[in-house]
Amino acid sequence: MSLPQKIMEVMEQNPKFKYNAKAMYTTLFFKSGKPVDKKLLAQVRTVMYRLYKNSKIRKLNRGYYQIKPAPKIIRDLENPETKVHGIKIEYRLSENNIFGIHGISAKHNIIGFIEGNGFEEVRNGGGVSLKRFSKNVFWDDRKITFTIHNCGLVEIWCSATDNCLSLQEFIRFTDFVRGFLNPICSFEKNKALLRQIGINRDFEEQRLDGVSSITIKKFLNDWCRVYQHNDVVRHEHHLKLEITLEDAFNSLQLLTYAPTNGNGKNVDNSEGMFR
């Protein structure tokens, strides 16, 4: 095996480690009681620099190098949990949802009802009412915005960019929404529509070299982005869609948990986990 191959093998087997020439020489050739072979050390230093120039490894600082984060290496390093953010849910109130609750009429008294529960009327810059009312609440250190339109449409928005939700947290979030809206509707998950969502995985060991972000827009309502987010590299996929929360839960379950049984075969998920 050639010296470049030996160096690459060591770095691929230890993707978290950083090596300078002396550390690599010690790993490959050190023998107790024998002096350092300065000629061989210089050769190691030269080969590592050439590997860097050929884009095989990346240079950090002060002569230290590390293996580049190829997909296989990233998978070996970590397998981060799939999480979600940028969530928009819609639910349409029916006449039966509103009429008869505390004697309130859907046509005349819903505005008074929502104002009495802390909602504020949304107006444009000229002060004209936009016929909707909004309120911000906090759940698990995440801001949630509820907007109720005069026509009976309820919109729920949760950004959570810096505090993304796991699958179980997403389920608990919708339970909170159901409880919050309970005075005016039943909020059935097989009728509530997920209209927008960001699905992400955060890699702590990955770095972007030379760029700050990469965005791929495949379709009008579907785009992907890879970017440096605080101390991690985030891979996220944004979707604008129209599916029920029940279907969304089952889809996210497949992304989060491998759909296999003990024999490694696919399991039947036709009934879903959340029915």
- Kindly state whether residues 132 and 29 are assigned to the same domain: no
47 neighbors 10 (Cβ within 8 angstroms): no
The DSSP result for 185-213, as a single string, is: ----TTT-EEEEEEEEEEESS---SS-SE
- Kindly state whether residues 54 and 110 are assigned to the same domain: no
The C-alpha atoms of residue 244 and residue 90 are separated, in whole angstroms, by 10
**Residue 21 resides in a domain:** yes
- Considering all CA atoms of the chain, what is the largest pairwise distance in Å, rounded to the nearest integer? 93
Number of domains in the chain: 2
> DSSP H helical segments within 102-244, as ranges?
110-116, 167-180
Which CATH number characterizes residue 58's domain? 1.10.10.10
- Kindly state whether residues 144 and 250 are assigned to the same domain: yes
187: alpha, beta or left, given left = phi > 0 and alpha = psi -120 to 50? left
What are all long-range contacts of 10-15, with beta carbons under 8 Å and residues at least 24 apart? 11/57, 11/65, 11/66, 11/67, 12/67, 12/73, 14/67, 15/66, 15/67, 15/69, 15/73, 15/76, 15/77, 15/205
Residue 236 pairs in a beta bridge with: 200, 225
- Kindly state whether residues 119 and 196 are assigned to the same domain: yes
Q: At 270, which amino acid appears?
A: S
Note down pLDDT in tens along the chain; length 275 residues. Answer: 899 999 999 998 888 788 999 999 999 998 777 888 999 999 999 999 999 999 899 888 778 998 886 666 656 666 788 999 999 999 998 765 444 344 344 444 466 667 677 888 889 989 888 888 899 999 999 999 999 887 888 999 999 999 999 999 999 999 999 999 887 778 899 999 999 999 999 987 677 767 778 888 767 778 899 998 887 889 999 999 999 999 999 888 887 765 554 454 444 444 444 34
Q: Which domain holds residue 51?
A: 3-68
